[in-house]
Amino acid sequence: MKGARLTDGEMSLHGHRITYRAGGEGPVLLLVHGIAGSRRTWETVLEKLARDFTVVAPDLLGHGESAKPRGDYSLGSFASGLRDLLAVLGHERATVVGHSLGGGIAMQFAYQFPERLERLVLVDSGGLGRDVHGVLRSAVLPGAEVVLPLLAAGPVVGAGAAVGSVLRRVGLRLAPDLEEVARSFASLHDREARQAFIHTVRAVIDVGGQRIDASDRLYLARAIPTLLVWGERDPIIPVAHGHAAHALMPGSRLEVFPGAGHFPHRDDPVAFVELVGEFMRENEPAALDGPDLRALILAAAAEPAASG
């Protein structure tokens, strides 16, 4: 068993502060959190994963302790930032593990930088269907900037029982879901964090649900080992998205955690670590380059004509 020493670090990327937690040895796992989250969402699994892998868990721009500038909060911009983070840390390639919004970013990373991706792990991922909880859809409505400070107010967030009662009324009943969403509210206590949150939400969600849907490009994953992990009772993004994506991703593996919510890695961290380790051992890294990507796209483009 290798060392699992983890340290917190920070760097300046393009003039903006980026914070992260990293450590361990072995193949690189880049862990990407969800919207209004931070590297802390991985705290129950990070040390265990670092026993066998090099783990890198950043706070995305606009999240956690990283800078929160006015700027581009699109999936493409996040993916480019992750590429640059890995480059500065000296990692040429990685297996990308993305949760919720982080799953959408992971898929965008795969699309933009296929030569840097070894494997893909999508955990209750966004970007695979229209459905998303109304709490997130409400953030795109006019006046969201006024409501968010009330939700993030210290006395409200500090009243755990009251917050839990409110969140349970909108369908968030499982303990890890309540804990993580309450922590997300708490992270929006300052104006810069709220603005970054709203810009991020509006880049991927509208009043009808998720704006970004990668389903038409999932055939590209046939060249990339892909693991889909979902909570059976996810109230944020339904498990049906996982089943549909699995059907569209040749060779992918789907694992549904019974009774789990939107954070299966927190509901059952031991099972999650074992699953990721098994997936890493059983699947050789992808070796996809520009010509390979071109061939996949051209083959897919030819299919309708051939069937006609």
SS3 category, 31: strand
Q: Is 46 left (phi over 0), alpha (psi -120 to 50) or beta?
A: alpha
In contact, 197 and 188? CB cutoff 8 Å: yes
Active-site residue, selected from the candidate residues 52, 124, 234, 267 = 234
The token duo for 58 is: 């950043």
Examine the residue annotation and report whether 246 is marked as an active-site residue of this protein: no
Active-site residue, selected from the candidate residues 66, 262, 267, 268 = 262
Active-site residue, selected from the candidate residues 38, 80, 100, 125 = 100
Pairing of strands 94-99, 54-58: unpaired
SS3 category, 91: coil
Helix and strand numbers, DSSP H then E, in the chain: 13, 10
Examine the residue annotation and report whether 38 is marked as an active-site residue of this protein: no
Residues in the chain: 308
Beta carbons within 10 angstroms of residue 175's beta carbon: 13
Rounded Cα distance, 231 and 186, in Å: 24
SS3 category, 28: strand
Of the candidates 277, 241, 283, the residue with the CA atom closest to the CA atom of residue 262? 241
Examine the residue annotation and report whether 216 is marked as an active-site residue of this protein: no
What CA dihedral angle connects 278, 81, 100 and 285, to 10 degrees?
-20
Bridge partners for 9 per DSSP: 20
**Which residues form the catalytic set?**
100, 234, 262
